[in-house]
Amino acid sequence: MTRRALLAALPMAAQTAPAQRIDSVRAWVMPLLGTGRFGTAKFTSDHDPNRSRWFGPFSQLAGSILVEIKTTGGLVGYGLGGGGSAAVHVIETHLRDLLLRADPANIELLWEQMYSSSIFYGRKGLAIQAISGIDLALWDLAGKAANKPVYQLLGGATKDKVRVYLTSKNVQFGLDKGIRAFKLPIDSSPSEGRAGMKKAIEPIEAARKAIGPDAELMIDVLCRWNVGYTIEMAERLAPARLLFIEEPLNPDDMAGYAELCARVQTTRIASGEHEYTRYGFENLIARKAAHILQPDITWSGGLSELRKIAALASARQLPLIPHRGGSVYGLHFILATAHCDLAESFGVGEPGNDIMQAMSPRFAAGYLYANDKPGFGVDITEALIGKHAVPR
C-alpha cells in the first residue's frame, strides 16, 4: 500500500498534526472589585465586630486571579480563578509543574492530578480556586482548538438566552434595565436583636412593593445568622414571598442547614457559594442541607467539576443557580445545562474594571446572550493585563 493510500485509509483524527503541548503557564492577581466593599482592616478594639467581617485580599472578587496557558501551537487560553496572591503562589510553585509539557486536551486527567497532588493542603479553598482558574483556561483552549464556543463542546445550548437576577440594593436600576429578578444583600445580625430584624425587613418589603407581585425576590445574608434567627426571619418575611434565603449560616454548619431545610416552609434555603468540588456538594446533598445549590465556576473546581456537581443536582432534582453565573464562564455552563435557567448578575450595574467587562457577556432587557467566538470568547490583551494585574 502506498503512503497516500495508507493515509486515506486512516481515520481523520489519526491524520492530524501532533498534539499540542503546554508551553507556558502564567497567573496574576486581577481584582475585579476592591477589598473595601468587604469591610475594613481598621479596628477599634479586640472586640470590634468588624474583625469577623474583614475578608481580606484573598476572598470574593477582590481575590480574583487570571490564569493564562499557552501551547506550542500558539493557542492562548484564559481562565478566572480566586484566592489572590496565595493562589498564584500555589500555581507558580506547584501546579505549573504538572502542566508544562502536558497535552492541554487531557483536561480531566490534569484536573485529577492537580487535585490529588494538592490534597494534603487543599481539598477546599485556595488550592481549588487556583485549580478552577487553570481548568477554565484549559477549556478555553479546547474551544479554540476546535474552533467552537465551549457550550457547544458540552453538547450544545439548551436555551438561547439566560434570565438575569440582579444582586443589588438598587432595584430601580434593575427595573430600568428590564430585569425581573432581584437579590438584596442583608446586613442584620442576631446581635442586633429584633431591632435588627426590623431594620432588615423594611427594605425587603419596600423592594417587593417596588418590583411588584410577579417578579422574583431573594435575599443574601452572607453567613451572618443562626438557625433560630433564620427561622423567625423566614416567618416574618412570608408576605414578601422570597424565592430563597442565601447562605444564612456558616458554610460548615451542615447540621444547621439541614435543620433549616426541614423546618422552613415559607421559602427555600440556598447554599454552596463557599463549597468546593463534587465531594463537598455530595455531602451537602446527602445531608439535605440545601434546597438550591450555588456553586461558583471560578472557585469550586472550574467547569470540569461543575459538570459533576450538576449531575448530582439533576439526579436529586435540585435547582442549580451558580453564584456569579452571569460571567462568560458561568454563562456557557448554564446554556448547556438543562435544569439551570437563572444567572446572577456579573458586571451589570457594578463598578467593575474593563477586565470584568471583558468577562461579561452581552446583556439586553434582562437577559444574557453568548457569542459564537471560539472558547469562552474572552478578549484579553497584554495591555489589559498590564493595566490591571497587581504588581508582584
Of 115, 147, 179, which one is at a domain's C-terminal end?
147
- Residue closest to 359 by CA, chosen among 340, 380, 375, 374: 380
Of 110, 125, 147, which one is at a domain's C-terminal end?
147
Give the per-residue pLDDT at 10.
Answer: 45
| CATH code for position 320 | 3.20.20.120
Number of structural domains (the chain) is 2
Burial class (CB in 10 A: 0-12, 13-18, 19+), 314: middle
- Residues ≥6 apart with Cβ < 8 Å to 324: 61, 296, 297, 298, 330, 344, 346
Q: Are residues 227 and 352 in the same domain?
A: yes
Asked if residue 383 is part of any domain, the answer here is no
Average pLDDT value over all residues in the chain: 93
Give the per-residue pLDDT at 13.
Answer: 43
Q: Are residues 294 and 333 in the same domain?
A: yes
- Residue closest to 112 by CA, chosen among 304, 300, 307: 304
Asked if residue 385 is part of any domain, the answer here is no
Q: Are residues 284 and 302 in the same domain?
A: yes
Q: Are residues 164 and 109 in the same domain?
A: no
Active-site annotation holds for 332: no
Percent of the chain with pLDDT over 90: 86
Rg (CA), the chain: 22
Q: Are residues 117 and 172 in the same domain?
A: no
Q: How far does CA 140 lie from the centroid of its chain?
A: 16
Low-confidence ranges of the chain (pLDDT < 70): 1-18, 35-38
Asked if residue 2 is part of any domain, the answer here is no
Give the per-residue pLDDT at 349.
Answer: 84
For every residue of 151-208, DSSP letters joined together read HHHTT--S-S-EEEEEESS-HHHHHHTT--EEEEE----GGGHHHHHHHHHHHHHHHH
Q: Are residues 251 and 359 in the same domain?
A: yes
pLDDT digits (tens, 9 = 90+) for 242-261: 999 999 999 999 999 999 99
Give the per-residue pLDDT at 299.
Answer: 98
Q: Are residues 313 and 368 in the same domain?
A: yes
Of 118, 147, 176, which one is at a domain's C-terminal end?
147
Distance CA 350, CA 14 (A): 48
Catalytic residue among 274, 323, 332, 388: 323
Tell me the residue range of the domain where 167 lies. 152-373
